A and B are shown apart, each in its own frame.
Chain A
Amino acid sequence: MEGASPDGTLLLGSILLLALSGVPGLFARKGGSGGERLATLLACVASAAGLVPAVRILFFGAGFRMELPSPLPGGPILLAADPLSALFLLPVFLVPALGAVYGLGYWAEAEHLRDGRKLRFFMGLLAASMAAVLVARSGVAFVVAWEVMALAAFFAATTEDRQPAVREAGWIYLVATHAGTLGLFGMTAVLRATTGSFAWEAPEGGLAVTGSASVVFLLALVGFGAKAGLFPFHFWLPGAHAGAPSHVSAVMSGVMLKVGLYGILRITSLYGTPPAWWGGLLLVLGATSALYGAALAAGQNDLKRLLAYSSIENVGIISTGIGVALLGRSAARPEWIALGLGGALLHVLFHSLFKPLLFLGAGAVIHGTGTREMDLMGGLLKKMPKTGAAFAIGCAAVAALPPLNGFFSEFLVYLGLLRAFSGPGEALLAGFAAPALALAGGVALAAFVKLFGVVFLGNPRSEKAAHAHEPGNFMRVPILLLAAACLAAGLLSPLLAPGLDAATAAWAAKSRVGIPALAAVAPLATVATWGAALLGLLALTAAATAFLIRRRTVSRGPTWDCGYARPTARMQYTGSSFGDWIAARLTPRVAATLLEERLPEGIFPRGARVSAAAPARDPVLLRLLEPFAQRWARRFYDLHALQEGRLTIYLVYVLGTLIALLAWSVLRGWFPPQ
């Protein structure tokens, strides 16, 4: 082992421990709580141990690089961590550990005899393989870790494989991830052909940007974009996230998508001066993803599908930031790099706080009500006040409302876009991306108003919602911790700025431009101060309200009472009615399907009815990929004629192939190649 350091050893040790965390449980007694507690303990210990080197590398300039001899072809295994890796390692060591604790309540072994042990094993493997992807720095090691990650996620997401919908979503995910891996194989091969080695390291000044570099970039975009959920490669994401157990969705959405984005960053970091169209393309794809994800999120009635579409939106925001930073590198504008990548990386961190919070909260809601259908919920804030409050914080954060953390990162991305708009050429695209992002932000806000309003406010719409209950402590503590983190992280973002600077510098090291500190180009501290003031004002208002009503009798009535003689829960806005106006304007025909429409007639209408539903599959999948796949499946069906079923025919194929090969060798002998 060459280049061993305490940081590297600790990091690799914790990855190994994380990978093995679910193994003892496999041999534990079925239904006993020993195995699950040990798995959770190991995951937490490993994650805590892994956080130490990650923080040291990100903030204190440590770092390591080591080569392990490998029995496989492809040269030695190169492992390294720089601040860029370390930044992405933070969520890897944070979210799965919280998810494991949450799993003790949500997927308790005693209630899930059939699949609990399998789920914990693959959760550990998923977390460890994500960390391994982030430190692998040679092609073969990277692709192996990547594939383990993809498969572990598949098995974790299809835990409830008895449900047909889960199986179907699992297959779609598997196809998507393998299509992406194919792109990565191609990318690794092209990169190997240009550099002559599998090591993903560039000389001083970066790799030359040639035609093959653009092939590498496009293949990386397909391979990593498919994992990140970037439009149009996002089609697997809503189904897989909706069907997975909630803490798995939290890990997939909060962390695994980011690993895909990390891949794009890692590959682009190898080049000195990327062409401007790389950044432009990423900008366009990012803005499209943001708008598309937000618009479809607004139309969903399935709680978890809504969150999944919102993840697509957030990946779009991050990609837009990366696009600005890439443009900055090609135009040698250091402040674009600092703002664009700083915002993107901060959003990576913050999204991995609020999206797991929302998924875990959604899991608590589903656990309490037994359904994912938002139109069957309602009034849950009264039944589960703590979870509801935490969920409200998550909704405000994902909608980027100040002073919550989502605002700070999106603010940086907007600043980057506005700066870039002043630039030449492809940078003008920023002028289109900024309004698109703003529109997406507004629609996302509406989507989360709808979500919170329909699920938590009003009156219960069904028996199930009426009997909802607050979850146990194992589930509640991770939710509350994440909510507190969302509250604090935005205000503390000036403290995170040095880490972001280090990661940005590591990414743009080959570009030879002096990148300014984030604090110098963005008024983070001022915004944080105003945010704190706003929070203080809110607290003051709450205290004042409490003070004012302390001596008075407070009477509580049903929501939407409005003096009706016989109010019913059906008088409330439903998710469909709220989301309809967005769906009708932004996504005509694709986002929602009108199932039934019977308008009231006459002066005293007898009855009227309207119902609409978001399609159970993503529009891209439904309109584009499925017809395409079916057309090709029909064409390939003709090949069935070759499958005669008679042994002799198959042998004739073999004989024909043999004779053709031999004949070829003869012809080569007669006509030797020049």
Chain B
Amino acid sequence: MTHPVDILLVVVILLNFLVLGTPALRMTIRAAALQGAVLAVLPLLVHRGFGWRVAAIAIATMGIKGILIPGLLEKAMRDIHIRHEVEPYVGFVPSLFLCAVGTGLAILFAGNLPLAPEHVGTLLVPASLATLLSGFLVLTTRRKAISQVVGYLILENGIFIFGQLLIEAMPFLVEAGVLLDLFVGIFIMGIVINHIRQEFSSLDTELLSELKD
């Protein structure tokens, strides 16, 4: 637990709770931004060597996850005058409870996965799974499209942490892939948000069910 990586990962897990526990959209966006920024430091610590490629990944992660996307989300929030997530499908306290259960399950699962010996003691896998599940929780319990983008962001953060496991086998492939994936995903969701607003003059994704069939 004394490894600096583990300390960062504990921060990441705590931020999951913050995102799930607050109704204020600005707070969730900033928590996600902070999580992205913390994760940007992660490769620097996991990697033994400090090459320019590591630095590039760290800077790109920081730029995209920590600044660019949250900035865009805040701008969108200001543009459409939405401050709070009202009436989520699952309330804030129950979702905090679910997040706690998910984190516990993540630790349980992680103990049973076949891992390389150097990863066994660390929090990498539990934190990754916990963040993944939290992201899913946000995606499934929130109504506003902006909240769902944040959920997607957190989900990707979980995958990003998992990618650190593969760093020896495929350096940067995973990170680069995740960043690209994230960028495209947010891009598409931005378009979707825009269209939802135009069509339904609301960002409540509930209304999307009218499109089925």
Q: Which residues of A contact B (CB under 8 A)?
A: 643-648, 651-652, 654-655, 658-659, 662-663, 665-666, 668-670
Contact = CB atoms under 8 A, between A and B. Distances in A.
B140 A652 contact: yes
A663 B113 CA distance: 11
Contacts of B132: 658
A654 B211 CA distance: 21
Given A648-B139, A651-B140, A665 B205 contact: no
A87 B33 CA distance: 73
Given A652-B140, A654-B136, A662-B129, A647 B113 contact: no
Contacts of A658: 132-133, 136
A588 B213 CA distance: 43
A648 B212 contact: no
A666 B140 contact: no
B52 interface: no
Interface in B92-140: 105, 108-109, 111-113, 129, 132-133, 136-137, 139-140
A665 B136 contact: no
Chain B facing A: main interface SS: helix
Given A651-B140, A654-B136, A655-B136, A646 B109 contact: no
Given A648-B140, A666-B112, A659 B89 contact: no
A647 B136 contact: no
Given A643-B212, A645-B208, A646-B208, A655 B113 contact: no
Contacts of A655: 133, 136-137, 140
Interface of B: 89, 105, 108-109, 111-113, 129, 132-133, 136-137, 139-141, 148, 205-206, 208-213
A665 B212 CA distance: 35
A142 B105 CA distance: 49
Contact of B212 (A644, A651, A662): A644
A646 B129 CA distance: 25
Contacts of B108: 666
A662 to B, nearest CB: 4
Contacts of B113: 665
Q: 5 closest A-B pairs (Cβ-Cβ)?
A: A645-B212, A645-B209, A669-B112, A662-B109, A655-B136
Given A646-B209, A654-B136, A663-B109, 9 more contacts: A643-B212, A646-B206, A647-B139, A648-B140, A658-B132, A658-B133, A665-B109, A666-B109, A670-B112
Contacts of A670: 112
A665 B112 contact: yes
Contacts of A652: 140
22 contacts: A643-B212, A645-B210, A645-B211, A645-B213, A646-B205, A646-B206, A646-B209, A647-B205, A648-B89, A648-B205, A651-B136, A651-B139, A651-B140, A654-B136, A655-B133, A658-B132, A658-B136, A659-B105, A662-B105, A662-B109, A668-B112, A669-B111
Contacts of B105: 659, 662
A670 B105 CA distance: 15
Nearest to A667: B112
A317 to B, nearest CB: 49
A663 B129 CA distance: 13
Contacts of A654: 136
Contacts of B136: 651, 654-655, 658
A662 B136 CA distance: 15
B98 to A, nearest CB: 10
B190 to A, nearest CB: 15
A644 B113 CA distance: 33
A644 B209 CA distance: 7
Contacts of B212: 643-645
A651 B151 CA distance: 11
A663 B105 CA distance: 9
